[in-house]
């Protein structure tokens, strides 16, 4: 794929996402803020400010997940425990194996070499065929950000999913409330007779309003920024787009959150599944623990930081260097059981 094609695809994807965000925000003003008169109440004003702050954080997180590189290994990194001559020999055997299918050379398990990038791959590093690069702690390639989710941009991507889930949930709840309110008011106005005005000449020409009850005089006016048919169309479009997007993003957020708290990636879940089967076959399945899992608290802070301000803001670097990873205390004993 050419650079021009990649840039064009990125521009198209970003425009689609931002147009959808703009559509959702504009619809909320037309269908919620204005008809429910949020601008005239303290609660409404607080909600409007809170809603726009969430929207800003959503857009900011999305942008950061796009422009933040996922992290790339250095070409000068080499595995420990081997001399340069031994590593060169391993590389030669790997390249020969690609040319000759009869060559069944198998490098040591801790040595991984990318024949596309011509570099040694550090732990948790994988090659992305879309980015055409090796990615540190690669999770997956996301077409909606035209970027890989990896070591450096995992936090802004998770925050993008989080804010999208929160904004989508709040928007759906208030759209449902607004729709029921509009429907209820419309039914009441249709059922209640319009008050009859009679001119009374004996009472200084003042009008007398005849009504069967006081409640029937309380007709509520619904004010919209667009025409009635357009309101119906907007309700249909919002419910038919926001709800599917909310379900999809919230599902992805659920799985990605589980990976964060387990210090796992989408790529590594297959490796963990394989190791768990071996551990179960050896009778230690209940004791098995993923090697990088150091507890939910540590796992979370490794990505998001130590303070609440760092947790909610899609900037800042994760702990470590993306190459050297801390292992849990069970790893040494567990490695012997998985052989």
What are 139-191's pLDDT values in tens digits? 999 988 989 999 999 999 999 999 999 999 999 999 999 888 888 877 777 76
- Is 200's pLDDT higher than 50? no
The helix (run of H) or strand (run of E) holding residue 160 is helix 154-191
- Is 249's pLDDT higher than 70? yes
pLDDT value of residue 337: 57
Q: Are strands 126-128 and 133-135 parallel, antiparallel or unpaired?
A: antiparallel
Annotated catalytic residue within 114, 128, 131, 142:
142
For the chain, give every domain's residue range: 84-149, 264-339
How many CB atoms are closer than 10 A to CB 81?
Answer: 10
Tokens of 297: 């608290």
142 in active site: yes
Please state the rounded mean pLDDT for residues 40-66: 94
d(CA 237, CA 29): 15
Helices 228-262 & 3-28 angle (0-180, nearest 10)? 120
pLDDT digits (tens, 9 = 90+) for 260-299: 999 999 999 988 998 888 888 888 778 788 989 999 999 9
What average pLDDT is seen over the chain?
83
- Is 197's pLDDT higher than 60? no
End-to-end CA distance of the chain: 42
Q: Using the structure block, give the residue that is written with the tokens 């479009």.
A: 237
Q: How confident is the model at residue 339 (pLDDT cuts 50, 70, 90)?
A: low
pLDDT digits (tens, 9 = 90+) for 296-317: 999 999 999 999 999 999 999 8
pLDDT value of residue 258: 94
The residue ranking higher by pLDDT, 47 or 108, is: 47
Task: Give the predicted TM-score (pTM) of the model.
Answer: 0.83
How many CB atoms are closer than 10 A to CB 206?
Answer: 9
Whether the CB-CB separation of 160 and 314 falls below 8 Å is answered with yes
Q: How confident is the model at residue 207 (pLDDT cuts 50, 70, 90)?
A: very low
Q: How confident is the model at residue 62 (pLDDT cuts 50, 70, 90)?
A: very high
d(CA 33, CA 232): 16
d(CA 272, CA 278): 10
Of 20, 17, 39, 21, the closest CA to residue 225 belongs to 39
Phi-psi region of 320 (alpha: psi -120 to 50; beta: other; left: phi over 0): left
The sign of the dihedral angle between the CA atoms of 159, 162, 165, 168 is negative
């Amino acid at each position: 794929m050419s650079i021009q094609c990649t840039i064009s695809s990125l521009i198209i994807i970003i425009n689609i996402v931002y147009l959808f965000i703009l559509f959702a925000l504009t619809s909320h003003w037309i269908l919620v803020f204005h008809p429910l008169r949020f601008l005239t109440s303290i609660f409404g004003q607080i909600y409007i400010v809170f809603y726009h702050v969430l929207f800003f954080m959503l857009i900011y997180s999305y942008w950061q997940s796009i422009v933040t590189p996922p992290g790339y290994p250095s070409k000068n990194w080499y595995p420990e425990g081997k001399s340069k001559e031994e590593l060169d020999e391993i590389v030669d055997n790997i390249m020969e194996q690609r040319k000759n299918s009869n060559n069944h050379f198998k490098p040591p398990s801790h040595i991984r070499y990318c024949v596309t990038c011509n570099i040694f791959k550090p732990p948790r590093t994988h090659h992305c065929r879309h980015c055409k690069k090796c990615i540190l702690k690669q999770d997956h390639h996301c077409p909606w950000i035209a970027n890989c989710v990896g070591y450096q941009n995992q936090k802004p991507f998770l925050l993008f999913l989080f804010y999208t889930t929160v904004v989508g949930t709040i928007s759906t709840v208030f759209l449902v409330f607004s729709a029921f309110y509009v429907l209820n008011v419309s039914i009441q106005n249709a059922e209640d007779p319009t008050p009859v005005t009679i001119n009374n000449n004996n009472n200084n020409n003042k009008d007398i309003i005849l009504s069967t009850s006081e409640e029937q005089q309380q007709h509520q006016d619904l004010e919209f920024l667009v025409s009635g048919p357009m309101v119906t169309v907007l309700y249909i479009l919002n419910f038919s787009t926001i709800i599917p997007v909310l379900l999809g993003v919230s599902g992805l957020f659920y799985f990605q959150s589980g990976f964060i708290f387990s210090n796992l990636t989408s790529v590594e879940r297959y490796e963990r599944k394989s190791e768990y089967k071996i551990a179960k076959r050896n009778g230690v399945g209940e004791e098995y623990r993923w090697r990088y899992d150091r507890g939910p608290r540590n796992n979370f802070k490794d990505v998001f930081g130590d303070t609440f301000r760092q947790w909610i803001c899609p900037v800042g670097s994760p702990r470590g260097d993306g190459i050297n990873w801390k292992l849990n205390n069970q790893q040494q004993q567990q490695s012997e059981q998985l052989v």
